[in-house]
Chain A
Amino acid sequence: MREGPTEGKALILGRVVLVTGVARRLGGRFVRRLTREPGVDRVVGVDAVPPGHHLGGADFVQADIRHPAIARVLTEHAVDTVVHLDVNGTPLGKRGSRAAVKETNVIGTMQLLGACQKSPAVKRLVVRSTTSVYGSAPRDPAVFTETTPPKSLPGGGFAKDAVEVEGYVRGFARRRPDVAVCVLRLAHLIGPGADSPLAEYFSLPVLPTVLGFDPRLQFVHEDDAVEVLRIAAGEPARGTLNSGTFNIAGDGVVLLSQAARRLGRPTLPFFVTGVTWAGSALRALGMLDFSAEQIRLLTHGRVVDTTQMRETLGFHPRYTSAGAFADFTRSRGTGLLPPHALARTVDRIAAAVPAGRGLN
């Protein structure tokens, strides 16, 4: 199925790709990248609100994926590849509510998958998920592989949405075995333009942390996220397979304390209960969506194994976790304790010490 008929058809007819969630930054960037892709005939961007950025020649259809109208869009444009990016943790813009986001995530996915099931032209489905589906608990192994069952299922929030979305996608894959389904579990998106909750957190002047915990974090650069989506949405390269579930993260691990120091932002440790309180205060002030799962992440951290991503999917991220974070740091500028100033102070002290000259 991966080679032969599909490939031949793609070459002759060109491909029509439908992308949901194009009003978001990642969706917009991905659509612009896709329009330049050889072999892609048309790109249809869908979102409930018109995007603030241009879509580089792609068609935009204003449709809410929570409504059955999405099925008409699929058939009208004879879509053969669906890239579902409208699975998000935070509302778009200031006014959106968490409830609406949840509905788009869960009901929207159900409607979209229902429409895909009815449309015989659909041959490929790519769904954006998150590594949050693994949860964060002290009883979890240090590194999650795609098959690790979480010790504590996410109790709510975006992680729970993502678990439910993946459940529906698995059901769809069972009912339509002829469709190549790829689920990408992305680690935290970061980069100059990323608008993920963790990027917002790192933009705070003082970072609230959980006292006595130093979580391990992994990041994906937004450029890498666009690239991996492109690989998943296209035909697999020789020797690779782009259907299945894959963890997507940059190499290596950055500790929260390390990230704060590289960013030059002081940390403010709270007791676990205090963090919850501070989180709700920040949320009430509209400064940050600091949810319970964010706090769990900042307590226990999360690291995923990316062997499958390299060996099966054949994707090699350009940025390591530390590299992606460095790029983010460059774009945001350093905080109250700029690392280069601290380093200079230490150098000055070191210069004042007659090291090496000795007493004689």
Chain B
Amino acid sequence: MAATATGTGTATGNTASAAASTVSKMPIAKALNQSLRKAMEDDPKVLIMGEDVGKLGGVFRITDGLQKDFGEERVIDTPLAESGIVGTAIGLALRGYRPVVEIQFDGFVFPAYDQIVTQLAKMHARALGKIRVPVVIRIPYAGGIGAVEHHSESPEALFAHVAGLKCVSPSNSSDAYWMMQQAIESDDPVIFFEPKRRYWDKSEVDTAAIPGPLHTARVARTGTDLTLAAYGPMVKTCLEAAAASQEEGKSLEVVDMRSMSPIDFDTLQKSVEKTGRLVVVHEAPVFLGTGSEVAARITERCFYHLEAPVLRVGGFHSPYPPARLEDEYLPGLDRVLDSVDRALAY
């Protein structure tokens, strides 16, 4: 792990905390759990809903202990029906609640896609702003855990494409802690993509920090020769690529995008105006993915600064492969470095 001065583990805008007791190292999973706990303490309208989120604490234990402490009225084990979960969450939001919905795995969100796209995303606009539907949909997503089919997908572009939704993904524990609370506070529906293979990665969380705005990107490592843009699970891979490049005398900047809708193009633009080169990395298929939009917009904004075309590294236009092949499919260190070399060769 390439820890740098501006590396993982610090919230944007964090000033060194005087009270050391508010800072601790914890896995992303625990940061999410603590964040949900805090949100439930702060606002009695916050509810948790999903399959197995109660006694079991979710299959990844993100809601561990919450039902015990907040009761079955607020941490609700639901029938096994994703459209029903999101549809009833919308109804609860209309009644004034702030439901946080867990979809057990990325590949199981699609029964709820209709409710999310046709109802959740549009309801505020259809009412000309007179009602709000503050629903958070948590999706443990992406691969790298050797899972069976439908448990490793990265469907974020399918949601970021939909007006009315916001999409975010934390890459470290501090962001997991703060972004979750900010998503819950948001009056818009937020799809919260949790990088499941990083759940157990530990980094620092300062629970007294003042977080920056939810939909801003963060420069995770500064550099001068090329910008790597990523979010969620790929930020770590990009930081590793930057560390490896450093040894070869190349200075890579890493931007943790954090939000896929809206995308903080200003931070990306600033970085690319400095480095002149951009490689966007995500696990999702490259074709029509988040990286395609970043490439188009940054080309438009930074046309005269670019020394090379914006390159994208990501999954292939194939179904997510069986676990024994996922290392081929996922953009690992070597594939990222290959694109870095190609961009630098222009």
| Pairing of A with B | no
B-side residues, CB < 8 A to A, are: none
A-side residues, CB < 8 A to B, are: none
